[in-house]
C-alpha cells in the first residue's frame, strides 16, 4: 500500500500478463525494447520527488495518506484546476486512470438500482488509489456489422458479453479495441460501448479485472518503432504509448468486481460519463498542443525572416484564435462545473463537448496552416546522422544558415518537431486521435444536442419572431 | 439633471440638429416618419418603469443618485455581468453610449501626458451620466486612398483634423462614417480612427460635441423603409436604427471638451479601447443572436417534421457549437477581466477579440446552415396581406398546414424572421456588420497577435522540440 | 403562330388568369405597378431585333421557321454552348421555359411505358415553341409533414393529386410552391416533386395547363418593392421576378395535356431530369455572377487604394478560384455531354451537380470575402437622393473622394451593387436561392453519389491497397 | 543510344556520383538497401515490355526512333491526354523528367534574347531523350533570410550563383533543396527559384549537369525506412523516393550546358514554366489519389455496415465532389491548352493553378473526412506479424469479422492503406507535399491573379453596376 516508486512500477509489470506485439509473445515486459520508451514515460508519473511535482502529483486522502492526485475526487473548481495542471504533467497511462472518476460520477445513479454495484465501484477505486495502481479505460467493442445490434451479430462475441454466471462471479468473452496503455496498466475497467436495449442485456456489462487475469490477452500497436533518433523524432522518440487490442477469452470476474450486469438501462450512463472525462483529457491536451503549434509557427516564421509577411501573420492569427478558443472553453467548463448527487463535481458537459468538437473538427485545417508556414523543408530536411557526418554535415550547416541569431540546431529541432508531430507517423496518429479519441465528431454532436438548453433557444426564437402566445397576439394587433 | 422620461428624450431631439435623409433636410426629427421606429426603439431605454427594468437599467452613483447602468464604471466581474444583462435589453443608441467606458479606460494613461484632457473626460462623462444623455462613437474617417497616410491625401480633410486653434478651443473639419445612431444621440464623441504618426499630429484628435453644434451635419442611411409590415418583418419593423455620415464643417470645440489634440502617440490607445468595447457589444449581441439562430433552426425543422433527419441534426449541432463557443468566450472574458490603473475593469482583451473573430468569420457559414434547413419558403412565403385577403388567404392557410399542433401563423412568423434577419435587407446589414462592426477581421487578427502570450507559446514549442538552451543539451547527449 | 413581339407578349398576360399579390386580386396584370419591372424583364426576351440578338435568341426549326433558341433541342456540344450564350441573355421567364427540355429528355423512357404521354410531350412542346410561349416549372409541393409520405398527410391535398378522372381528362387539386415567374408564363408544366411509391400513385402526376385555366390561382411574392431607386438598387430595380404559390382548385386537364398519371415508377425521372436543367441554369448564372463578384472585389479594392494589400489579394485570389472552378465545371459538363435514346444531348449530370454543389456550398463564404474587402460603406453609404440634394450632396461628394481617376458616381455604383446583390433584400434572396434553387445541398449530394463511378473508385482503392483478388495474392507472397 | 533496359538503368547509377544518406557516404548506389525500393520503382519506367505499356510509355520521334513518351513534345490535346495516361503509370523519377518540357516551353522566348541558350536547350533535350536519361528539377534554393534578396544574404551562396566564368564555361556554387529523386536521375536541370532583379544577375542561372559532375553532392531524405512490411505499408513499402539536398561545391558547367547566365529578366519565366508542369503533375496525381480516397471511404463504410448512415453518405459525397472537381479541372486544362511560339502546347495555366489550389487547400479537410469515416482502427489495428502469429492471429481474426462477404485480409489492407497514406509517415509527407510541391498556396494565388482575365471581370462588374461610361449615362437618365 501507498505510493509506488518508479522501480516498483516497472517490476509490477512482469506479473504474468499475456502480451503480444510485432508477432512476438512478450513475457519480460519490463525489459522488452518495444516497451522501453512507454515504460519510461509511464514511470515518470511515479516520480513524486521530481522538483515541484509533489504538490502537482499528490494529495492527501480523507484517510490522511498521500495518493496520486489522479484519484482525487474533485469537489471544487480549484480541484478541477489542479487536475488540469496534473494532467499537463502526466502520461497517457496516468490519464486513462481517470476512468475511476467516470465510475464515481455515476455511482449515485447506480446505487439506486443496485447498491452492491455502487459499493464495488467505491471499493475498487480505493484499492487502486491505495496501491497506486493504473487502470485502463476499456470501452470500444469489435462491433462487427454496425447496422446490427450487439446480439444480432454473426458472432455473438463481437461485443463483450456474459457467457456464464454463478454464485461467485461471471465469465466474460469478447474484445475491446483501441485501449490506450492497456499493457502498462494494472487494472482494466470495462464498460459498455453504447446504450444497450433490453434484448442486449448480456452486453450491459461493466467490471474490473487485473491485467494478468487468466484468459486475458493484449495485442499491442504503436506508431513508433523502438529506436527512433531523438533528434529527428523530438516528440515520438520520448512519448510513445501502445494501444491494446484486449481479448477476453472466458475471463472470470468475481461479483465484487462487477459494476453492471444486465441492467441495460444504465449502459448509456457509463459511456456518457467516460466520454466526458476522456474528452476533458482531450481538451486539456489540445490546449497545450495548440499553444505549441502557435509557438512553432511563430518560430519557424521568424527563423526564415517571414514573420512580417501578412499571409504568414494571418495564418498565425488563425492559429492563435484556435488555441485560445480551446483554452477558454476548457477554463469555462471548469469554472461552470456540474455537481453529481454525491457532491462530486465534473467539468461542464456541454462546454467540454463544444470545446472538443471545435478542436477536433478544425485540427486538420490548423495542421495545414502550420505546414503552409513551415514549407517543404518539414519533410526534406536531412537526418541528424547526415549532420553528424563531418563531410556532409559541413555542407548542410552552411546552407541551413538563415540569419544571425538563428541557431542551426534549434532551427532543425523546430522543423523536426513540426514533421514529427504533424507530418510523420506520430503526426498521423494525432490526426486520427484528435477525431476519434473520446468518440468521433458524431458522438460530440449528439451530446451537444442533448445537453444544450434548446427550450431556452426556442423561446428566444419565438420571442424574436413575435410568436410567443401572448406577444404574438400583441404584434398581430399592431399589424392591423 | 437626473433620469429622463421617454417623452423628454423625444423632445430633446428637436434641438436644431442638422439632419438629412432620403434627399430631405429634416427639421422635425421627433415626428418624421423615417425616425418613428428608431425613436421608439431608443426611447425604450428610458422606460425605467417597465417591469423588472429598474434594476437592469439603473444603478446608484457614488453621489447617491440613480443613473442609467450604461454609465456604471465596472469594478468587478459582477458589474460586467450586469452590464451584459443590461446590454441584452438596450438599443443601439444605448449601446454606443458605452463610448464613455472607452474614454474612461484610457483616462489613466492620458493623465500621464495631459492631466487636463483626463479631467475633461471625467467631466464630460459625468455630464452625460447626470443628464441621462446618449453619446455616439465617432471613429471611422472617410480615409480616401488607403495606401496613403492621413496628411498625404488629395484632400487633407479626408481624415478629421484641426484646422484652427485659439485660446478658447479648436476648429475641426472632416467626416466620420458609419456612425450608428448618430442622429439620435445628444453627444458625439470623436476619436482617431487609427494610430497616428508624428507627421499626422493634426489628426491625433479626440473630443466631444453636442449633436446640434454649429457646422455639424448628419446624413442618415438605413436598411429599413419607414413602414414595414410588422408581420412580414418581425425584426426590422421594430428594430431599425440609422447610421450617420457625420460632417464637421469647421465645428468649434472648446478646450474643455477636447481629449486629445496632437499627442499622436496616444491615438492608437483611443482606437484600441473603443474597439474593445465595441467588440464586447458585438459578442454580447452575437451570443443572443446565435441562440436565436439555433432556436429558429430547431423550430423550423420540427414544424416540417424534419427534426429527426440526420443531415438537419448535424447542422443544428454545428449551430449549437457556434452559439455556445461565442457564449463561453464572452463568459470567459468577463470572468478573466483586466484592470486599468484607475481600478476600472474591462473584459479580457484577447478573449473578446477571439470570440468576436470566431463569431464574425463563421457567421456567413452559419447563415448558410440555417437557410439550408429552412428551405425555399424562406423567400417565397406570400406576404401577410395575401393571408389577410380572405380569398387567397383560405388557400394559403390550407397549404401551409404541416401537422397537428403547428400553428400556421407561428410557422409563418418563424419563416418571416429567418428571412428578415438573414435573407432580406436587415439580414444583409447583419452580414456586413458581423464582419465590420468594431473593425474588420483583420483588425481582430492584429489585436489577437498583439495580446497573445507569444513568449509562452514559443517557450512551450522550444521545450517540446528539446531546443531550450539547457534541455537541448540534455537531449543532444541522449542522442549520442 | 411564330415569334411574338414584346407588345404581343404584354397583351397576352391579360388573359383572365387569377393573380394575387400584396393582398390584392390583380386583373390588369400588364399594367399593374408590381409587375412593371418583371414584365419589362420578361419582354426583353422577345426583343429579337436588339443588336446581335437574332442569332443568340433564335434558331431555325426543322420546319424552316424561326423559334426562340430556348426551344432548340441540343444535339451537339455547340448547341449546348449556344444555349449557354442565350441563357446569359435571358430572363428567368425564359429560363424556366427550359422545362420543355426536361420533358423531352425523358420522352424516350416515357414512350416505353405509355406512348400517348410521350406524344403529348412532343405536341405540347411544339405548341409552345410555335406560339413563342413561356412555360413555368412547377415541381415543389406544399409537403406538409416531411416525415410522412404524400398519401399519409393530414390533408391529402398537400401534394398535388388526381381527385377525379373521366374519358376527357383528369381533375387535379393541390399547390406548387416557389414557382419562379409563374404569373408571367403562358403555360404551367407540373411534375412530381419526388419519386413516388406505388401507394402514392394518385400523386404520380405530370401535365401542362394554360395559366388561365379555371380553378388555377397564383399568389406572388418578391424581394423587391415596385419603385426602387435605380441608382441605389442597380440590380434589383431592373431584374426582379415574382415567385408564385400556385393553387390548383380542382383544375380540369384534358388527356392530351397529361404526361404522367399513376405510373409511379417514372415519377423520379421527371424530378431528376428537371433538376439537371435547373442546376445547369444555376451554374450558368453562377459562372456569370461569380465573375462579377471578382470584378467588384477588384474594383472596390482599387478605388480604395487597397489592391496591393496582401490580405485583399488573398481574398480576391480565393474569389478567382471560386469563379473559375464554376466556369470550368460548366465547360466540362458541356463538352462531356450525355445523349438520350432520342439523340438529344444534355450536360454531364455528375459534372453539373458537382459544379452546382461547389457553387452553392461555398457561396456564403465568398460573399463574406467580398464584404470583408468592401467594408462598412457597403451598408452605410447614403442614398442617391442625398447626393442629389445639393446641400448634403456637396459634402458627401467631398468625402467620397478616394484618389485621382476614381469617379465618385462609379464608386457609389460599385458599393450599391455590392449591397444590392449581397447585403440587401435581393442579396438575401440570392443566398437562399443559391442553396435551394434546383434542390438543396442534400439533393446534389444524392445525385453525385448516384452518378459517380463508384465501382471504378473502389477498384482503384483495392488495387492501391494490394487487395484485388489476384494482386492481393502477389503482395501476400512478397510479404513472406 | 536508344531505350534503356531496367538493368542498364540500375547499372547507370553507379557512375561515381557522390551520395549521402543516414550518415553514410554511399558508393554502391545500385545495391544499397536504402535505395532498393526507389530503384525498383524507377526501373519500372524502363519496363517497355510490360503488358500494354509499349504504347503508353513510348512514342516515335521525328527521327523515326522510339523514345519514352515523357520526351514527347505535345502539339494537340490528344498528346496531352496520352501524357496524362503515361503519368499515371510513371514513377516520380519519370515525372521530374518533365523538366525538359518546362525548358522547351520557354525556348522561343529565350531564343529572342540568346539563341545559343535556346539551342543548348534543344541539344540537351535530345541528348536526354535519345539516351533515355532521367533529369531532375532543381529549383528551390536554400534562401536563408526570406526578407532579403539573393545577394543580400549573410552568405552569398544561399542562392545558387556563378562564382567564376571563362571561355569554356562557368563555375557554380550553392545548394538546391527538396529535389525529388535527384540521386536517381542522370541529369540535374537547374533553374532560378524566383524572378531575379538586375542586381541579382549572378543568380539568374540555369544549366544542366550530369549527376556525377565533380563537386556535386546529394544528401537524401525519405519518409520510409528501408524494410517496411508490405502488408502494413501497402503503399510506402513499394513507392518511396528520396528527396535530395543537392550541393554545388564549385561545379564546372561548360557553356553548351548553360541556359541562362545573367539575363535576370528571364528568371521568372523559368520558374513559371516549371511551376506549370509541376502543378500539372500534381493535379494528375491528385485526380488519381482523390479517386482512391473515395473508394477507400466507400469500402471501409461498407465493410462496417455503415454505408447507409447519412453522416457517412454526406462525407462520401463531399469526397466525390472533391475528386470530380479536380478531375474536371484537369480535363478542362487539357482541352483548353495554350500554344507557345514554337507550336508546342501546354495545359491551360489558369486552369491548372485553380485545380491545384483547390486540391491543395482542401486536402487536409478531405483527409479528415476519410479518417472520420474509417475510425480509430486506422491507427490501432495490430500489425500483420500479430496476425501471422497463430496464437494472437486466431483471436484477431475472430474479432475482425464484420459481416458475411467481408474478407478479413481485404479489410485489414483497406485500413492499412488509409493509415499508410493519410495517418503515417507517408501520409504526413502527402499532407506537406500537397501544399508545397510546385510551390505553396501563395504561389498559386499569385499565378491565378496574374492569369485571370481581370479586365473582363471588371467590365462585367461595371456593366452590372450600370457604371460603364455610356450605360451609366443611360441608367442615370432612367433614374430621373
Of A144, A304, A428, nearest to D403 by CB-CB distance is A144
**Whether the predicted pLDDT of D478 surpasses 50:** no
Q: Kindly give, in sequence order, each residue whose CB lies less than 8 Å from that of residue D216, ignoring residues fewer than 6 positions away.
A: D17, D18, D188, D209, D246, D247, D248, D249, D251
User: 3-state DSSP helix/strand/coil percent for chain D, to nearest 5?
Assistant: 55, 15, 30
- Work out the percent of chain A whose per-residue pLDDT is above 90: 95
What does the pLDDT average to over D27-33?
96
Report the distance separating Cα D153 and Cα D163, nearest Å: 15
- What fold does the segment set C269-455 form as a domain? Butyryl-CoA Dehydrogenase, subunit A; domain 3 (1.20.140)
pLDDT of residue B475 exceeding 50, the answer is: no
| Alpha carbon of B151: minimum distance to chain D alpha carbons (Å) | 29
Q: Does B448 touch chain A (CB under 8 A)?
A: yes
- Residues, chain C: 480
Q: Phi/psi of residue C173, each to 5°?
A: -140, 150
The overall average pLDDT reported for chain A is: 95
Distance from CA of A306 to the nearest CA of C (A): 14
Sorted by where each begins, the domain ranges of chain B are 6-257, 269-455
Segment C85-94 shows an average pLDDT of 93
B220 burial level (CB within 10 Å; 0-12, 13-18, 19+):
buried
> Do B423 and C403 lie within an 8 Å CB cutoff?
no
**pLDDT over 80 (residue C471):** no
pLDDT exceeds cutoff 50 at C456: yes
Which D-chain residues 308-327 have CB contacts (< 8 A) with chain B?
309-311, 314
pLDDT band at residue B474 using 50, 70 and 90 as cut-offs: very low
C299, C460, C462 member nearest D458 (Cβ): C299
Q: Which residues of B touch C424 (CB under 8 A)?
A: 223, 424-425, 428
* Least confident window among A151-155, B50-54, C295-299: B50-54
> What pLDDT score does C359 carry?
98
**Would you list the DSSP string of B289-309?**
HHHHHHHHHHHHHHHTT-TT-
Whether the pLDDT of residue D439 is over 90: the answer is no
**Quick check: C56 pLDDT over 80?**
yes
B480, pLDDT greater than 50? no
Q: What is the pTM of this model?
A: 0.96
pLDDT digits (tens, 9 = 90+) for C15-55: 999 999 999 999 999 999 999 999 999 999 999 999 999 99
Q: Are D240 and D424 in contact (CB under 8 A)?
A: no
Nearest chain C residue (CA) to A314: C311
Mutate to test the interface with D, among A18, A399, A401, A419 (most CBs of D within 10 A): A399
Pick D227 or C80 by higher pLDDT: C80
Tell me if C385 sits within 8 A of C229, measured CB to CB: yes
C267-303 and C441-451 are packed helices; what angle lies between their axes, rounded to 10 degrees? 120
Cα–Cα dist D77/B30, whole Å: 72
* Distance (Å, whole) CA D314 – CA D295: 14
Convert the pLDDT of each residue in D373-421 to its tens digit: 999 999 999 999 999 999 999 999 999 999 999 999 999 999 999 999 9
Query: Count of H helices and E strands in chain B?
Result: 20, 14
By Cβ distance, the residue of D376, D381, D436 closest to A436 is D376
Band the pLDDT of A246: cuts 50, 70, 90: very high
Task: Label residue B315 by pLDDT band (50, 70, 90).
Answer: very high
pLDDT of the residue at C474? 42
Predicted confidence band of residue C227 (pLDDT cuts 50, 70, 90): confident
pLDDT grade, residue D310 (50/70/90)? Answer: very high
B404, with CB counted inside 10 A (0-12, 13-18, 19+), is: exposed
CATH ID of C6-264, from 1.10.10.410, 2.40.110.10, 1.10.10.10, 2.40.30.40: 2.40.110.10
Whether the per-residue pLDDT at D82 is higher than 90: the answer is yes
- Touching partners of B (3+ C-beta pairs < 8 Å): A, C, D
A328 has a chain B CB within 8 A of its CB: yes
Examine the pLDDT at B478 and tell me if it is beyond 90. no
Which of C71, C79, C450 is CA-nearest to residue C271?
C450
| Portion 154-173 of B in contact with C at CB < 8 A | 154-155, 157-158
Residue C1 has pLDDT above 80, yes or no: no
Whether pLDDT at C392 is above 80: yes
Q: What pLDDT is attached to residue C23?
A: 97
Name every chain C residue with its beta carbon within 8 A of the beta carbon of D350: 324
The SS3 assignment for A106 reads: coil
Band the pLDDT of C439: cuts 50, 70, 90: confident
Whole-number Å distance between alpha carbons of A476 and A472:
6
* Minimal C-alpha gap between B465 and chain A (Å): 6
Residues in Cβ contact with C242 at an 8 Å cutoff, skipping those fewer than 6 apart? C21, C34, C35, C38, C181, C182, C183, C184, C220, C221, C222
Out of A324, A459, A472, closest to residue B354 by CB:
A324
Q: What pLDDT digit, counting tens, does each position of B99-142 carry?
A: 999 999 999 999 999 999 999 999 999 999 999 999 999 999 99
D350 touches chain C (CB under 8 A): yes
Q: Which of D17, D18, D19, D23 to mutate to test the interface with A (most CBs of A within 10 A)?
A: D23
Q: pLDDT (tens digit, 9 = 90+) per residue, B200-215? A: 999 999 999 999 999 9
Q: Is the Cβ of A418 closer than 8 Å to some Cβ of chain D?
A: no
Long-range pairs, C62-65, Cβ under 8 A, ≥24: C65/C2, C65/C130
* pLDDT of B477 higher than 50: no
Q: Chain B contact for C229, CB < 8 A?
A: no
pLDDT value of residue C480? 34
Percent of residues, chain D, with pLDDT higher than 70: 98
Q: Is the pLDDT of residue C470 over 80?
A: no
* CATH for the stretch A6-263: 2.40.110.10
The reported pLDDT for the residue numbered A470 is 64
Residues of chain C numbered 455-474 and touching chain D (CB < 8 Å): 456-462, 464-467, 472
Q: Would you state the cell numbers that stand for residue B153, as one nine-digit string?
A: 491625401
The fold for domain B6-257 equals Butyryl-CoA Dehydrogenase, subunit A; domain 2 (2.40.110)
Whether the per-residue pLDDT at B29 is higher than 80: the answer is yes
* Mean pLDDT, rounded, of chain C: 95
What tens digit of pLDDT does each residue of A400-411 get? 999 999 999 999
Q: Which residues of C touch D234 (CB under 8 A)?
A: 464-467, 475
Q: Report the percent of chain B where pLDDT is more than 90.
A: 95
Are the Cβ atoms of C465 and D416 closer than 8 angstroms? yes
Q: Flag whether pLDDT at C472 surpasses 50.
A: no
Residue A224 pLDDT grade (very low, low, confident, very high; cuts 50, 70, 90): confident
Sign of CA dihedral A461, A463, A466, A469: positive
Does residue C478 have a pLDDT over 70? no
Q: How many angstroms separate the CA of residue A205 from the nearest CA in chain D?
A: 18
Is pLDDT above 80 for B280? yes
pLDDT at A478 over 50: no
pLDDT digits (tens, 9 = 90+) for D128-179: 999 999 999 999 999 999 999 999 999 999 999 999 999 999 999 999 999 9
In a mutagenesis test of the A interface, which of B284, B464, B469 is the best target, namely the one with the most A β-carbons within 10 Å? Answer: B464
State what percent of residues in chain B have pLDDT above 70: 98
- Ramachandran bin of B380, using left for φ above 0, alpha for ψ from -120 to 50, beta for the remaining angles: alpha
State the angle between helix axes of C310-335 and D310-335 in degrees (0 to 180), rounded to the nearest 10: 80
Q: Which of B155, B250, B431 to mutate to test the interface with C (most CBs of C within 10 A)?
A: B431
pLDDT given at position B227: 86
C171 closest CA partner among C241, C112, C250, C101: C250
Of D22, D385, D436, the CB nearest to A22: D385
Residue in the block written with cell 478573466 = B336
Q: Give the three cell numbers for residue A460.
A: 428566444
pLDDT beyond 90 at D119: yes
Give residue A206's pLDDT: 98
For residue B146, the chain C residues in CB contact (below 8 A) are 304-306, 309
Contact (CB, 8 A) for A281 and A70: no
pLDDT at D473: 43
D437 SS3 class:
coil
pLDDT grade for B470, boundaries at 50, 70 and 90: low
Average pLDDT score over residue span B347-371: 98
Q: Which residues of B touch D310 (CB under 8 A)?
A: 309-311
pLDDT band of D470, cuts 50, 70, 90 = low
Residue C124, pLDDT above cutoff 90: yes
- Rounded CA gap, C132 and C141, in Å? 28
Q: How confident is the model at residue B158 (pLDDT cuts 50, 70, 90)?
A: very high
Beta bridge pairs of residue D24: D21
Is the model's pLDDT at B455 over the cut of 80?
Answer: yes
Give B248→chain C minimum CA distance, Å: 10
Task: Tell me what the mean pLDDT of segment C388-406 comes to.
Answer: 97
Q: Quick one: average pLDDT of B13-30?
A: 97
User: Which tens digits make up the pLDDT trace of C153-190?
Assistant: 999 999 999 999 999 999 999 999 999 999 999 999 99
Amino acid at each position: 500500500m501507498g505510493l509506488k516508486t518508479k522501480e516498483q512500477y516497472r517490476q509490477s509489470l512482469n506479473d504474468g500478463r499475456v502480451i503480444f506485439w510485432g508477432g512476438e509473445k512478450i513475457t519480460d515486459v519490463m525489459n522488452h525494447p518495444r516497451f522501453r520508451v512507454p515504460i519510461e514515460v509511464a514511470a515518470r508519473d511515479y516520480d513524486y520527488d521530481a522538483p515541484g511535482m509533489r504538490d502537482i502529483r499528490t494529495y492527501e486522502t480523507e484517510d490522511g495518506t498521500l495518493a496520486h492526485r489522479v484519484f482525487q475526487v474533485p469537489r471544487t473548481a480549484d480541484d478541477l484546476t489542479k487536475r488540469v495542471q496534473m494532467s499537463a504533467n502526466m502520461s497517457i497511462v496516468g490519464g486513462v486512470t481517470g476512468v475511476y472518476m467516470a465510475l464515481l460520477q455515476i455511482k449515485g445513479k447506480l446505487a439506486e438500482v443496485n447498491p452492491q454495484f455502487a459499493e464495488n465501484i467505491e471499493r475498487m477505486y480505493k484499492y487502486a488509489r491505495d496501491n497506486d495502481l493504473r487502470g485502463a479505460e476499456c470501452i470500444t467493442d469489435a462491433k462487427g456489422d454496425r447496422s446490427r445490434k450487439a446480439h444480432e451479430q454473426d458472432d455473438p462475441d463481437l461485443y463483450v458479453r456474459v457467457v456464464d454466471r454463478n454464485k461467485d462471479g461471471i465469465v466474460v468473452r469478447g474484445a475491446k479495441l483501441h485501449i490506450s496503455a492497456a499493457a502498462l496498466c494494472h487494472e482494466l475497467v470495462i464498460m459498455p460501448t453504447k446504450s444497450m436495449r433490453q434484448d442486449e442485456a448480456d452486453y450491459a456489462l461493466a467490471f474490473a479485472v487485473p491485467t494478468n487475469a487468466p484468459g486475458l490477452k493484449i495485442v499491442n500497436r504503436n506508431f513508433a518503432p523502438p529506436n527512433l533518433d531523438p533528434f529527428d523524432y523530438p516528440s515520438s522518440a520520448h512519448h510513445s504509448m501502445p494501444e491494446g487490442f484486449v481479448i477476453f477469452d472466458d475471463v472470470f470476474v468475481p461479483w465484487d468486481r462487477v459494476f453492471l450486469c444486465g441492467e441495460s438501462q444504465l449502459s448509456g450512463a457509463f459511456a456518457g460519463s467516460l466520454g466526458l472525462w476522456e474528452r476533458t483529457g482531450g481538451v486539456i491536451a489540445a490546449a497545450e498542443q495548440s499553444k505549441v503549434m502557435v509557438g512553432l509557427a511563430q518560430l519557424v516564421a521568424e527563423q526564415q525572416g517571414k514573420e512580417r509577411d501578412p499571409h504568414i501573420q494571418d495564418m498565425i492569427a488563425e492559429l492563435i484564435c484556435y488555441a485560445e478558443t480551446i483554452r477558454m472553453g476548457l477554463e469555462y467548463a471548469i469554472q461552470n462545473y456540474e455537481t453529481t448527487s454525491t457532491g462530486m463535481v465534473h467539468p461542464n458537459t456541454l462546454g467540454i463537448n463544444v470545446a472538443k468538437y471545435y478542436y477536433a473538427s478544425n485540427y486538420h485545417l490548423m495542421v495545414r496552416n502550420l505546414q503552409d508556414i513551415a514549407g517543404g523543408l518539414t519533410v526534406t530536411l536531412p537526418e541528424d546522422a547526415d549532420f553528424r557526418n563531418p563531410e556532409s554535415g559541413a555542407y548542410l550547416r552552411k546552407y541551413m544558415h538563415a540569419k544571425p541569431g538563428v541557431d542551426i540546431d534549434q532551427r532543425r529541432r523546430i522543423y523536426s518537431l513540426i514533421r514529427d508531430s504533424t507530418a510523420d507517423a506520430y503526426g498521423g496518429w494525432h490526426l486520427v486521435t484528435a477525431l476519434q479519441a473520446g468518440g468521433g465528431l458524431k458522438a460530440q454532436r449528439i451530446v451537444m444536442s442533448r445537453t444544450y438548453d434548446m427550450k431556452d433557444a426556442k423561446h428566444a426564437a419565438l420571442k424574436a419572431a413575435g410568436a410567443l402566445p401572448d406577444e404574438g397576439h400583441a404584434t398581430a394587433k399592431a399589424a392591423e
